[in-house]
Structure 1
């Protein structure tokens, strides 16, 4: 793998506009599971059926406890950025224009220090009122079994609507697709990290970089259908590879 690492370091040093597409594989080293693996939670068909906007609206008393058990377990909320997240933040700190498109909802890229992050599947760390738009953080979400809006109008009437999580539920459109597409088309290096590229429309984004003759690096434990189209493929843990490719305290990769 040393030759692959050397190539990756060289390409990182040569590049100025780096776009990174991340999936669950970058966060598993922080203790957050890959939901789509063979043993992942999405193998539970009943849970899949519950994680929809329709179920939230019609049965919030069932939706919210299941949502919290899926996304807001204490061990997930305690998770910290790993070497992979921190390496990407270091690239930005070294002066690279790094744009991250993440399918994850854990907020670990931002906790690591990355500032240009498009969360196409939303965030599990916030919720908002569908009526008045008031946004709430984790403390309010976790304070009630079914969190509701506490906003009061000038007459003192409380809104009281059941909150909707900021996570994209099944059947809903992804967010920031236009920004993500632009980031892929406007980069000189695309890093694809920890994703099997099976969930559309995000799975097709790398094809736009392919058309633009952009260098594409695929870093994933397992093979993907896109392996033969990437210019560099590394099958290894993301954190270990990125730690070596972007060493802490060093100069920009060259």
Structure 2
């Protein structure tokens, strides 16, 4: 394990351009539950996938918002802060690295840590938009009302969160592939790679055949075979070790 971490540290130090894929495991050290792990909240009630769908939003927007705020714990969102995993990625960028983060996370912690290039593949909890007129509203506005409506004159539609709901189109995939096209290293952290089409991005990197590919996750994934380096260990502990090796 130590030798493998040394090789990973060397690859990260040598690379000028790094594409990073992150999942819920990156935010767990900030106190945000990992919804998709084997112990995650999504396993408790699969009906959440129905309630967090665009179909249910348009069917019953009032009840949708009640469930959405509960499932995503929106009242607590501003209490969460970036952790040392987020800071590690920012540190890579500070060392003159071209680092682009492609994240499944919707909590905004990569931006809060200072990362300058973040693609929010599944959207963000920090904003909602009127589906009728396109006006955007902040999280503060969303939390001020049980059911947030558009305030534009003559509109009044119920706002739709900027999180990608089940059934929504993914709009960031081509942008993510373009980042991988230019990268020398693909670093994947804290994701089970369960969700499609996000889990196609490592396959795209493997197809290109020109990147060093690194997977760091707390448990095995079905995509581990795609990577040159695979670490199954606590992400926080692994990042601390990498940080020491790269000092």
Question: C-alpha deviations, 1:21-50, integer Å up to 9, x for none?
Answer: 011111111111111234433231332211
Q: Matched residue of 1:45: which SS? A: coil
SS in 2 for 1:218: strand
Return the offset for 1:52: 1.2
- 2-structure distance, mates of 1:97, 1:193: 17
For 1:58-117, what per-residue CA distance to the aligned partner results, in whole angstroms no more than 9, with x for missing partners?
Answer: 211110010001113433431111111110011111110001110110111111110111
Provide the rounded CA distance (Å) in 1 between the counterparts of 2:128 and 2:137: 5
Residues 69, 75 of structure 2: 8 Å contact kept: no
- Provide the TM-score with structure 1 as the length reference: 0.91
1:207 to 203, 209, 224: 203
Please state if 1:244 is matched with 2:244: no
SS in 1 for 2:222: coil
Task: Please tell me whether the aligned partners of residues 125 and 162 of structure 2 are also in contact (alpha carbons under 8 angstroms).
Answer: yes
SS in 2 for 1:219: strand
Contact 1:83 1:240 in 2 (8 A): no
Distance 1:117 1:63 in 2: 28
Number of corresponding residues: 245
**Partner of residue 227, structure 1:** 224
Q: SS at the partner of 2:47?
A: helix
- Distance across 2 between alignment mates of 1:211 and 1:60: 41
Deviation at residue 244 of structure 1 after TM alignment: 3.1
SS in structure 2 at match of 1:68 = helix
Matched ranges for 1:16-27 at <5 A: 16-27=16-27
CA contact (8 A) 2:75 2:143 kept: no
Normalised by the length of structure 2, the TM-score is: 0.93
| 1:115-168 deviations in Å (ceiling 9; x for gaps) | 11111100011001111111111110000110011123xxxx4x2110000000
Contact 2:149 2:156 in 1 (8 A): yes
Structure 2: gaps (5+ residues): none
Match runs of 1:67-216 below 5 Å = 67-152=68-153, 157=154, 159-213=155-209, 214-216=211-213
| In 2: Cα distance, 1:63 partner to 1:77 partner | 21
Across the aligned residues of Structure 1 and Structure 2, the Cα RMSD in angstroms comes to 1.7
| SS state at 1:5 partner | helix
Aligned match of 1:29 = 29
1:168-222 Cα offsets, whole Å, 9 max, x none, are: 0001122311110111222100001111111111101111211222100000010
Q: Matched residues in 2 for 1:55 and 1:111: separation? A: 31
Give the conservation status (yes or no) of the 8 Å contact 2:36–2:192. no
